[in-house]
A and B are shown apart, each in its own frame.
Chain A
């Protein structure tokens, strides 16, 4: 039983023109079969209009340990958000 099909990550674009979104994974011998299987497994109820498949081993991810140094710096930068600024009511909608 050592002839396992590789693992593919599946991304689907939903009906409403949004970006492709990761929906899950599956095993398939090649990309073509991965697309076919993804259609059967992840779009049985009109969930999508387009499918991407990527072999899992080709994905590079951030490590959980890097979470702090990578993402915490943005927490203190409140001035990047529109709500940081007080605009006088007389100015109107902005």
Chain B
């Protein structure tokens, strides 16, 4: 999930009696699956939570370009290079759709960018892990985009119109991402013993960080209950994580790779795979800024923003001058 640990504003779900008329009308619209649009009335807490959630999601798309962009020039073939380039370009687009959705809630692009750059807003913990070799690129597309899809597909039905429309666009593009990743890692799993070893190593390293993408268990959280009542969260973190494990285990088996967790076992009674929970202390440590790549990622985003300043300013100045000249000529 690209938005983890989003703090839901407010004190939890209000009862019908506790709600004002406006709040009741708003909740009623959501219950009847009527989309909330930018100019409609909405509770401040709904607006604030959505800005956090969509912002975190957008930042994840943007920062997520870094570990993959890192391998574009070193892709093994021209075809793989073109594919990876297209995939990373899509992620830039995803960030952009989502920033635009967030802006409809009253935050400006500069404000939300600033909050990423100075660390006030987060992005998904997964992008603080390094991509050490080409097998990691396959594993990222397969597992990381696979986990993202799990979360994004239900969010197409989210209550906020612009967010829902952004998710629909994103989901259309996302399945190519996962398939190209699986295709790349499959080549390695079916390749030389050394290549197969690399594929196994990538799976082993990225498995638990991928499970962490869904965030810690939130089935008893009052905040999640509020987000679910608002339909900006559709499933609990555990539901999505289980779905991801169930979907991925057969894909691992098809590759002929070993399962990355000895705790993975089919549970006939539950009709699901059992698995070992990730180490949540590692997760919180990464979120706090102590993952292997946190410092590099933020430094890269800050550098890109600072280095681009003269371009942004220059183009705007050029546009202003052109407009003034045209005005004078008329």
Interface centre among A24, A26, A63, A64 (most CB of B within 10 A): A24
Tell me the B residues contacting A by CB distance below 8 Å. 37, 39-41, 86, 89-90, 93, 96-97, 100, 103, 108-110, 113-114, 165-166, 169, 173, 312-313, 315-316, 318-319, 322-323
Contacts of A25 in B (CB 8 A): 100
Q: Are B319 and A64 in contact (CB under 8 A)?
A: no
5 CB contacts below 8 A, A to B, read: A3-B312, A3-B316, A29-B315, A44-B93, A64-B40
Q: Say how far B35's CB is from chain A's closest CB, in angstroms.
A: 12
Q: Which of B97, B100, B110 contacts A1 (CB 8 A)?
A: B110
A34 CB, min distance to chain B CBs, angstroms: 10
**A13 at the B interface (CB under 8 A):** no
Per-residue CB proximity of A1-29 to B under 8 Å, as 1/0?
11111010000000000000000111101
- Asked whether any CB of chain B lies closer than 8 Å to the CB of A49, the reply is no
**In the complex the two chains form, is B90's CB within 8 Å of A61's CB?**
no
Closest residue of B by beta carbon distance from A9 = B100
CB atoms of B93 and A29 under 8 A apart:
no
* C-alpha gap A40/B315 in the complex (Å): 18
A26 touches B313 (CB 8 A): no
Cβ < 8 Å to B, chain A residues 42-74: 44-45, 61, 63-64
In the complex, what residues of B have CB within 8 A of residue A3's CB? 312-313, 316
Q: Knowing A29-B316, A30-B322 touch, does A1 contact B114 (C-beta < 8 A)? A: yes
Contacts of A44 in B (CB 8 A): 86, 89-90, 93
- Chain A proximity of B42: nearest CB distance (Å): 11
- Whole-angstrom distance between the Cβ of A36 and the nearest chain B Cβ: 11
Q: Check A2–B100 contact: CB distance below 8 A.
A: no
